[in-house]
Amino acid sequence: MLETVGAAPEWAAATSERGPMMSNAHPDRDTVHGALALAVRAPSAHNTQPWLWRVGDRTVHLYADTGLRLPHTDPGQRDLVLSCGAALHHFRVAARVFGWDTVMHRAPNPADPDHLAAIEFRGAASTVEAVRMSRAITRRRTDRRRYASGELPAAHVAAIVAAGEANGVPVCDVESG
């Protein structure tokens, strides 16, 4: 769900003879909508898509839609938050492809636990890695088959740990015993 909050977005006021202008502080409306279109393709628990997006003048905000929580299968809302995290990741990847780096503020409002993130923007060049990742978003499919029972190669574990840490998420290798 996309909801615009606050005063009129700056892209509505920033016009020239050539049409809408992109600000140095915030992408234009089409860019934000394009990034959101990729974000909402994120996997979610039982395909609930438990997120709400609000677009402000200079920021985009992600909220958990707790009305879509699954009290019997996800009583602690862990899967709901993981689903929102996947959507947030997809949004950040898409923004980078469109030439914007994101600065994310986790849980920006302690008074509102559903407000999961506030995202600010800085102009940045797209990268080959971001393009590769955005293409993967459009090809992603849910696979509900059982996990393989074999051991995961150390190189794969290291890649998973590195990917998490690159996004500010502590990841540790837990060996089964």
Most confident of 7-11, 51-55, 166-170: 51-55
Planar angle of CA 150, 153, 155, nearest 5 degrees? 165
pLDDT in tens, 49-81: 999 999 998 899 999 999 999 999 999 999 999
Most confident of 13-17, 133-137, 150-154: 133-137
pLDDT at 176 over 70: no
- Cα 95 to Cα 158: distance, rounded to the nearest angstrom: 26
Q: Taking the model in full, what pTM does it have?
A: 0.77
Query: How high is the pLDDT of residue 124?
Result: 94
Query: How high is the pLDDT of residue 23?
Result: 56
pLDDT in tens, 22-54: 456 789 999 999 999 999 999 999 899 999 999
> Which of 30, 49, 41 is closest to 138 using CA atoms?
41
Q: DSSP letter string over 113-130? A: TTEEEEEEEEE----HHH
- Cα 86 to Cα 147: distance, rounded to the nearest angstrom: 20
- Measuring CA to CA, how many Å separate 18 from each of 15, 22, 59, 68, 100? 8, 11, 25, 43, 21
Reading the block at residue 107, the tokens are 């849980």
Query: How high is the pLDDT of residue 152?
Result: 85
E strands along 42-146, which residues? 51-55, 60-64, 100-106, 115-123
E strands along the chain, which residues? 2-4, 15-16, 19-20, 51-55, 60-64, 100-106, 115-123
SS3 category, 134: helix
Average pLDDT estimate for 166-177: 75
Higher pLDDT, 170 or 16: 170
pLDDT at 1 over 50: no
pLDDT at 21 over 70: no
- Cα 26 to Cα 5: distance, rounded to the nearest angstrom: 15
Task: Give CB contacts under 8 A, 24+ apart, made by 155-159.
Answer: none
Average pLDDT estimate for 138-147: 80
pLDDT in tens, 83-120: 999 999 999 999 999 999 999 999 999 999 999 999 99
